[in-house]
Structure 1
Amino acid sequence: MVNLELAVQDEHGIDVAARLKADRIELCSALPLGGVTPSLGLIEAAAGTTPVHVLVRPRPGGFEYTPAEVATTIRDVRHAISAGAAGVVIGGLRDGHIDSALVDGVVCAAGTATVTFHRAFDLLPDPFHALEELITLGVGRILTAGCPTVVADGLPSLRRLVSAAAGRLEVQAGGGVVPSLIPALVSTGVPAVHASAKTVVRDSGALTLGSAAQGPESGRETTDERTALRIIEALRDAGVRP
């Protein structure tokens, strides 16, 4: 069995994940910016359907956080768990290494909920040493492409990480997952894949908000049910999903 996690950022994505019976969702906001912490209301809306793992990231950009940002992250972890999240997704670096103080604080705040270390992992110079450190810190899952680019480039590394983890921590493949890549990903032995299955919805109206916006004609991203279904069908064809 290979689990499927869908990265979603709105009510539509939550509904798609429930209809398709995804194993879990990673819930965030601003996915085009790499994702940031979603609102408490969205967490509450998602809780009780598909198991929800909330991305807790205080801002876009890099992964070295100030003490104030670390404190905000830990508070948001507590709020997410209280709102019904089954787990949280975090990541932090310090001088090119795991920010162990941040991770330890998050693991303590999460209690029995699962903590996932996200793709900040792919920036670490020694992923196998980092894997052992995260296991020691109590992290239950890493999200990785096996490299700093996309999973299509990281297949050999994913295979080695799965072997090194030896079931002590779940290695979840993510970063450019598309239906055609599923057979190759399954062959690495990863027990889970993470996909955003995005599409662009065109919005009407001429008002553009925010300096990062590209204009109303560019629309907004949301979950594409057809792409998500094709990923599930590819997993079934590979014999790793009922």
Structure 2
Amino acid sequence: MKPDHLAIIMDGNGRWAKARGLPRLAGHKAGVEALRRAVRLVGEREIKWLTVYAFSSENWTRPAAEITGLMGLLRHFVRSDLAELHGSGVRIHFIGSREGIEPDILKLLQDAENLTAQNTRMNLVIAFNYGARDEILRAAKALARAVSDGECGVDDIDGCAFEKHLDTTGIPDPDLIIRTSGEQRLSNFLMWQAAYSEFVFLDSHWPDFDASVLDDALAQFAKRERRFGGTTAVNLVSS
């Protein structure tokens, strides 16, 4: 079996660069190349959804020069790859807060989503300026405003109502979450959505992500029994 939705915490760009005596930005550039490979490989394996953790809401605390470099890489990726992704039938979604984002970047995000909105072969979800705690707080505030405005009552709030206010509304929960570079934590990524996700933690750094790394993770996932809180294993992913 394979996942319908694969999510990846792309970790290890800096450590990859340090091991080679290179500046951190060189690691981030190599990470962008790894992202290009990942999108192609996931598409070849007919996995419908790929979500990547590109830039967290906490990453703004990094050195100014590194942030400037990362924003430049984002601009370049969207501008240079958008036509190819669109031509390949990839629909692009961005999740995360849009507040405080530079106007030219915000326009790039919106243009990418609008251009690819009708594509159906594959969905690429990019978590940018994203933090799960921030997402959950924004959803809670939206529901509080709805109650205050009389649009719904407190007793009307359930899991489905809450999910409609998350950034991922309309997006299925991830079946498998991969994290590279040996760390074994979520780091504020999809905390609501990952309630029943399977996890695979890989020692390799993100810039080294290739077909063998992906297939190893998928092979591990194929051996899992998914229980979803019950006592009987349930297979809810495609074969």
TM-score, length basis structure 1: 0.42
Instruction: Please say which structure displays the higher CA radius of gyration.
Output: 2
More strand by share: 1
